[in-house]
Structures are given as C-alpha cells and as structure tokens.
C-alpha cells in the first residue's frame, strides 16, 4: 500500500476512536475564489463590529502562511446535537451548542491527541490544530474535504448528519489522499431564509449579514442591541438555532455521545422567572465551563433584559 494511503487510513481510524464524527482531507492551497467572496462580504460591512474579521486576510485564505510547507488540511467534525430542550416554553432560549462545556477546550484536547498520534506513528510532521481559534475559513475547507456543502444558511450541511456539529482542522506538512467535495443539496428549499427572525440571510441564500444575525447580536456585539432589532430576537438570549431547526437535513441529526456536552442538571429546567432573576452566583454555577462565559454575566443579563423590555 502506498504510504500516503496508509497514513490517511491511520489518521482516519484514530480520529474515529477519539470521537470525531467525520474526517476528510483537502489539499492545502490558496483559496482564490473564497478570497474574493470574503472580500465582498467584508466590503458590504456584513461582519458588523467583528473588526477581527478584517485582520490577517492572507492567513485566512492561505494555509501555507499558517503552517510553512503545508500540504494537507485535515478537517474533522464533532456532533453536538441533542433532542433535549428547555422545558419552559417561555424561558429565554439558549443555542444547543452552548448547553455543555466549551467546545474549544473539549475539542482542542482531542485534536492535540490526534496530532501527537500522527507525529508518533508517522514521524516528523509539522502541524497546527485549529478549533475556531485562528483566521481560517473552516466551512470552505470542510466543503473541499467532503464533510458537507455550504448551505443557503451558510452552514456546513451533510446529507446524513445534518448541521449540528463543530468543525475543527489540523493543517500539516504531510501529503495525504484527498477527498472530493460534496455537491449542494439545498435544491429549491428556502426554509432557513423564510424562518430567520431578523432576515439576516440574503433572499437567495448563501450570504449572511452577520450584523443582523441573532447569534452575533447576543454573543459578539458588545454594545446595546440596535433598537430596530430588539423585538425580533425570538426570545433567544444566547445564540440562535432557527436556521438549523427548520433545515430538513437535520431530521438526520442523532444524539451526541460526548458527556462533556451534557447540560448542567438544572439548566433545562430553569423557568422564565428564574432567568429574569438570574444572579451572578447562579450564572457562575450553571455556566462554569460553558461558552456562555464569553458574554460574561453582564452580557447575558443585557440579553435577558432586552428580551423582557422588547
């Protein structure tokens, strides 16, 4: 068996053992077409106040700038779907990805283990692990590596797995056997466009005005939420899952099996009035290792108050 094939099979097996749902391989090269799309998106101001999106443009589109002599982008997905939901229909809503521990930490450990395994089994491999942590166009690489297509809602969708998964990457200087991209199966479906509470998705899809997206407004935006959007938040206090909930492909989503993504026992039982009266102490208990800490108590409080006063 050719060494490239043996290495690819070896990595695939280990990724599966570590709990990754899907793995695909793409050739590391400059992303010319996506670069033009990114530039247009930035020029329209669709990134809102996320000034960091404008930084390191070349790094975003050229993996060899992140890892010298890079040959491969190893793309992996990790399922976080759960059919569980908050019991009180009136309670301010929390995106499913934030029910449990912060995925950055959980997945970084697994990725580093995988890279260590590659270096142990194969030898002198130079590589870097990425979990949403660097200027890298993850969905573009995921599509090239066959993990899904970029849907009308701009998320990566897989025809058997849906879209409730995290994307992670290892960029390395090891040549591997590359996968084929998946074609787009959105067809004529426009459910996500029609369901988006703030009309953040362009009428034809495939373009998201992040400055209107509820996830951006409740997590990224540091100042007050614009008054013209405060009554369109659909009761979301952290993130938003609407464009995933309505996506027909998510009928294939299955319960994850990552104990660290299970919510704090009390989280899903919290009633509306308990959220309204949330104290910093309860916040710290509920969200000890959670990505919700990113908004801090003050940020979540702002979001809850905005929902109550809308």
Positions marked active-site: 132
Q: Which long-range contacts (CB under 8 A, 24 or more apart) does 187-195 make?
A: 189/152, 189/248, 190/152, 191/246, 191/247, 191/248, 192/151, 192/152, 192/153, 192/242, 192/243, 192/246, 192/247, 193/152, 193/153, 194/246, 195/242, 195/243, 195/245, 195/246
Q: How many residues does the chain have?
A: 310
Closest C-alpha to 219, from 169, 290, 272, 129:
290
Instruction: Report whether 174 contacts 189 (CB < 8 A).
Output: no
Rg (CA), the chain: 20
- Contacts with 34 (C-beta within 8 Å, 6 or more apart), sequence order: 61, 137, 140
Report the C-alpha gap between 51 and 42 in whole angstroms: 10
Dihedral sign of CA atoms 138, 14, 261, 247 in order = positive
Closest C-alpha to 71, from 166, 7, 135:
7
Report the C-alpha gap between 53 and 9 in whole angstroms: 35
Instruction: Report whether 229 contacts 249 (CB < 8 A).
Output: no
């Amino acid at each position: 068996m050719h060494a490239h094939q043996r290495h690819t099979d070896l990595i695939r097996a280990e990724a599966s053992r570590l709990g990754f749902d899907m793995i695909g391989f793409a050739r590391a090269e400059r992303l010319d077409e996506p670069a033009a799309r990114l530039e247009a998106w930035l020029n329209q101001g669709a990134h809102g106040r996320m000034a960091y999106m404008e930084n390191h443009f070349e790094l975003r589109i050229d993996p060899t700038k992140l890892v010298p002599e890079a040959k491969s982008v190893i793309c992996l997905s990790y399922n976080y779907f759960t059919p569980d939901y908050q019991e009180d229909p009136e309670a301010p809503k929390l995106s499913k990805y934030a029910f449990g521990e912060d995925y950055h930490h959980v997945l970084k450990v697994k990725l580093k283990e995988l890279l260590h395994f590659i270096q142990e089994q194969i030898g002198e491999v130079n590589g870097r692990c990425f979990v949403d942590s660097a200027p890298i166009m993850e969905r573009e690489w995921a599509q090239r590596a066959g993990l899904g297509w970029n849907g009308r809602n701009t998320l990566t969708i897989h025809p058997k797995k849906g879209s409730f998964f995290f994307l992670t990457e290892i960029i390395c200087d090891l040549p591997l056997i590359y996968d084929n991209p998946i074609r787009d199966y959105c067809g004529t479906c426009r459910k996500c466009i029609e369901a988006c509470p703030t009309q953040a998705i362009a009428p034809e899809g495939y373009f998201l005005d992040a400055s209107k997206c509820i996830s951006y407004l409740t997590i990224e935006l540091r100042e007050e939420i614009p008054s013209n959007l405060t009554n369109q938040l659909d009761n979301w206090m952290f993130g938003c899952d609407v464009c995933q909930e309505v996506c027909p492909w998510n009928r294939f989503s299955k319960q994850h099996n990552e104990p660290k993504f299970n919510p704090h026992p009390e989280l899903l039982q919290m009633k509306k009035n308990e959220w309204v009266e949330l104290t910093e102490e309860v916040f710290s208990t509920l969200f000890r290792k959670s990505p919700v800490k990113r908004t801090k108590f003050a940020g979540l409080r702002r979001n809850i108050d905005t929902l109550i006063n809308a």
